[in-house]
């Protein structure tokens, strides 16, 4: 069975400081992992994805995530937060043998001026 | 990147009426489309999975007679909320998948969502 846990429901950082959004997953088979961002009343935009290639994945808007199998983690980072990064972020896992994807509960990122 | 559209972006209707929401993949063929429901400040809840030309597979607890899904072509899926009631008010999001490759299931691309308000 697959599952995904986002460890923080809300993260607040100052503009210009690093961002860390944590995600742990559980999967019986080789997982594909994704991070999506959702701005208020908008759909989801794909930030980045891991599909068994390089463990460090670079995405859009300066975000990146590192797949760590030993820690079953896929944390999202950004070196310097921007006001426009304020949004809801979802970590998503999908197994190679399943058509379903499982969403994390989401992390709301707030940026302080 | 792949683009998915939804129409309408928002709709207000009276209780008892039916509402149809369209989901289109604009620049790729989607063998599989998904319908999600999202309550305020919550994550997405998968309602059903539809494959082109076959019946949708509904998640446990989702009434298939209330939420009718049609996936008539590789670029269009529709969700019809029949006899809508205020408790059906929600944000409905569709996604479309390009297809599986050796790397695993294809990436899902999401539509912008449809805000349904039932009075």
Q: pLDDT grade, residue B42 (50/70/90)?
A: confident
* Contacting residues of B for A36, CB less than 8 Å apart: 110
CA distances from B103 to A4, B19, B23, B45, B61 (A): 20, 38, 26, 25, 32
Q: Is A3 on the interface with B (CB under 8 A)?
A: no
Residue of B nearest to A104 (CA): B43
* A113 has a pLDDT exceeding 90: yes
Q: Mean of the pLDDT values across residues A23-43?
A: 87
* Contacting residues of A for B42, CB less than 8 Å apart: 105-106
Phi, psi of A57 (to 5 degrees): -110, 130
CA distances from A45 to A22, B105, B110 (A): 18, 18, 7
- pLDDT at position B27: 87
Alpha-helical runs (H) found in B45-100: none
CB–CB contact A43 B110 (8 Å): yes
At B59, list the tokens: 């998640």
- pLDDT at position B101: 44
Mode of pairing for the β-strands spanning B10-13 and B114-118? parallel
Identify which has the larger pLDDT, A100 or A105. Answer: A105
What does the pLDDT look like over B50-104, one tens digit per residue? 988 888 999 999 999 999 999 888 899 999 999 999 999 999 999 998 765 443 4
* Residue A47 contacts residue A36 (beta carbons within 8 Å): yes
What distance in Å separates the CA atoms of residue B36 and residue A43, rounded to the nearest whole number?
11
- Exposure b/e, B83-112, CB count within 10 A at least 16 = b: ebeeebbbbbbbbbbbeeeeebbbbbbbbb
Q: Which of A22-26, A95-99, B46-50 has the lowest mean pLDDT?
A: A95-99
Strand partners of residue A67: A74
* Residue B105 contacts residue A94 (beta carbons within 8 Å): yes
Cα dihedral angle (B3, B4, B7, B9), rounded to 10 degrees?
Answer: -80
Phi, psi of B17 (to 5 degrees): -90, 170
What does the pLDDT look like over A45-71, one tens digit per residue? 999 999 877 889 999 999 999 999 999
Q: pLDDT grade, residue B107 (50/70/90)?
A: confident
Residue of B nearest to A30 (CA): B104
């Amino acid at each position: 069975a697959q599952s995904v846990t986002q460890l923080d429901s809300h993260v607040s950082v100052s503009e210009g400081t690093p961002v860390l959004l944590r995600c742990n997953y559980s999967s019986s088979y080789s997982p594909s992992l994704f991070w999506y961002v959702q701005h208020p009343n908008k759909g989801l935009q794909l930030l980045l994805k891991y599909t068994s290639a390089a463990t460090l994945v670079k995405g859009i808007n300066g975000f990146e995530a590192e797949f760590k199998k030993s820690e079953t983690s896929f944390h999202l980072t950004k070196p310097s937060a921007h006001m426009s990064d304020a949004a809801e972020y979802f970590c998503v896992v999908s197994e190679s043998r399943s058509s379903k994807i499982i969403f994390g509960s989401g992390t709301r990122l707030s940026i302080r001026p | 990147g792949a683009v998915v559209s939804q129409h309408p972006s928002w709709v207000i209707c009276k209780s008892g009426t039916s509402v149809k929401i369209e989901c289109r993949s604009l620049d790729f063929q989607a063998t599989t489309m998904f319908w999600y429901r999202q309550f305020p400040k919550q994550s997405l809840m998968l309602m059903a999975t539809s494959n082109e030309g076959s019946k949708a597979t509904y998640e446990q607890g989702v009434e298939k007679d209330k939420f009718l899904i049609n996936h008539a072509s590789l670029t269009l899926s529709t969700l019809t909320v029949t006899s809508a009631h205020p408790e059906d008010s929600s944000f409905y999001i569709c996604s479309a998948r390009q297809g599986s490759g050796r790397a695993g299931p294809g990436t899902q691309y999401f539509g912008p969502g449809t805000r349904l308000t039932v009075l």
